[in-house]
């Protein structure tokens, strides 16, 4: 049998939780499809919108430009965007998988690609927000906001599958840390 690039990229687990316990048409390829198609396309779209917005703010001089009165709100948004850029990088460095419920020891290539693209996208959004503290333009702002809303909807699609498995499958972290295992094995009701 030959080398299958899709299987090497997605690394599906035959007979795993994604195939047996989640009701969908993609089976064990579900996390790969949600990350690769839905999230990556959304992140690429938002990255292009951020680049377009940055070009408009810095290079175009044929529309009105303003300064923001309340910069503290923008600084808060920059902090949130930087946090959203940092979390996927930490997940890649530490090898933390959100979709691994079958006991794999390393991240699949689609998870690494999706995390790096997500981090790059949110870093670009943070840069756009920082530039907007210096110069602001109303043109194409709603298109940029639509892209951010579109990215949130794409994340909701991914979390829908993860929350489906939350009650069915108890995740155990790799390694021997009993503190991490105790924290991860609690139900949401116990944490509140």
**For the segment 61-97, what is each residue's pLDDT rounded down to a tens digit?**
777 778 888 888 889 989 999 998 999 999 899 888 8
pLDDT-derived band at 115, boundaries 50, 70, 90: very high
Name the range with the highest mean pLDDT among 75-79, 154-158, 172-176: 75-79
What pTM, to 2 d.p., does this model score?
Answer: 0.78
* Cα(143)–Cα(51) distance, integer angstroms: 12
Contact 27, 150 (CB under 8 A): no
Residue of 100 and 167 predicted with greater confidence:
100
Token pair listed for 165: 């498995």
């Amino acid at each position: 049998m030959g080398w299958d690039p899709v299987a090497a990229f997605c690394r599906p687990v035959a007979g795993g939780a994604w195939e047996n316990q989640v009701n969908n048409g993609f089976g064990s390829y579900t996390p790969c499809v949600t990350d690769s198609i839905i999230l990556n396309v959304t992140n690429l779209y938002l990255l292009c919108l951020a680049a377009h917005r940055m070009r408009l703010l810095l290079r175009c001089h044929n529309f009105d430009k303003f300064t923001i009165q309340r910069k503290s709100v923008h600084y808060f948004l920059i902090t949130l965007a930087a946090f959203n850029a940092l979390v996927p990088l930490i997940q890649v460095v530490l090898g933390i998988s959100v979709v691994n419920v079958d006991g794999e020891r390393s991240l699949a290539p689609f998870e690494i690609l999706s995390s790096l693209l997500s981090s790059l996208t949110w870093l670009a959004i943070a840069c756009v927000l920082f530039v907007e503290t210096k110069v602001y333009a109303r043109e194409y702002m709603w298109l940029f906001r639509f892209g951010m809303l579109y990215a949130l909807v794409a994340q909701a699609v991914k979390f829908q599958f993860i929350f489906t498995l939350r009650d069915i499958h108890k995740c155990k972290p790799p390694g021997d840390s009993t503190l991490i295992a105790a924290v991860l094995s609690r139900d949401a009701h116990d944490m509140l």
